[in-house]
A and B are shown apart, each in its own frame.
Chain A
Amino acid sequence: DSGVTQTPKHLITATGQRVTLRCSPRSGDLSVYWYQQSLDQGLQFLIQYYNGEERAKGNILERFSAQQFPDLHSELNLSSLELGDSALYFCASSVHRDRGMNEQFFGPGTRLTVL
């Protein structure tokens, strides 16, 4: 158990719909990262938040957005869903030091199926 929690574990929805995925980081971790993992692709970095502010942006579609709240939990919002958005969505957290490992600890993931 990494200490990172994600809800829900599974989500089944229809094309065109909107969903929200939730992540609570490990206690003390200020950075939260979101990743998408499809069957035919590796782990794709979407976005990172640090202490409530957006820190880095990867291959995140305009239909997707995220935020990190004052209690440091984060939500990833996916809208106008398409079949190709079906994937495992992982959240990871890390402490934030200028130097050092800052390794990421991953949550169990949310499996999204768009029908």
Chain B
Amino acid sequence: GQNIDQPTEMTATEGAIVQINCTYQTSGFNGLFWYQQHAGEAPTFLSYNVLDGLEEKGRFSSFLSRSKGYSYLLLKELQMKDSASYLCAVRDRRGQNFVFGPGTRLSVLP
């Protein structure tokens, strides 16, 4: 079956660093995506990992370990506007079916 786990909620302080974890068990693997979603709005693409290691993109970095079925999204220099839900999604072996995790709601406090 397909299963993706993320913490439900996290809280961090403005200017700090936060790490959002994602573990997955899927019938195949062809890439992992992170999306940001503000309440009532559409998800927007943040990052993509298909090989093991760290991908850095400005204040956001994403890490993947395929052998452990594990990824994390690292957000640095947190800003109030980073308060949102962060969705982890895995693309299956067929390459086009996406499975989304439940999302982690991040609150950034002043």
In the complex, A2 has a CB within 8 A of chain B? yes
Cβ contact within 8 Å between A45 and B43:
no
In the complex, A115 has a CB within 8 A of chain B? no
Interface residues on A, range: 20 to 34
B-side interface residues, number (CB < 8 Å): 22
Cβ contact within 8 Å between B96 and A55:
yes
* Given A43-B87, A45-B99, A45-B100; A56-B42 close (CB under 8 Å): no
In the complex, A31 has a CB within 8 A of chain B? yes
Which residues of chain A from 36 to 83 have any CB-CB distance to chain B below 8 Å in the complex?
Answer: 41-45, 48, 50, 55-56, 58
Minimal Cβ-Cβ distance residue in A for B46? A103
B residues apposed to A, CB below 8 Å = 31, 33, 40-45, 48, 87, 89, 91, 94-103
In the complex, A96 has a CB within 8 A of chain B? yes
Cβ contact within 8 Å between B41 and A108:
yes
8 A-B residue contacts at CB 8 Å? A31-B96, A42-B103, A45-B98, A50-B96, A56-B96, A102-B31, A103-B33, A109-B41
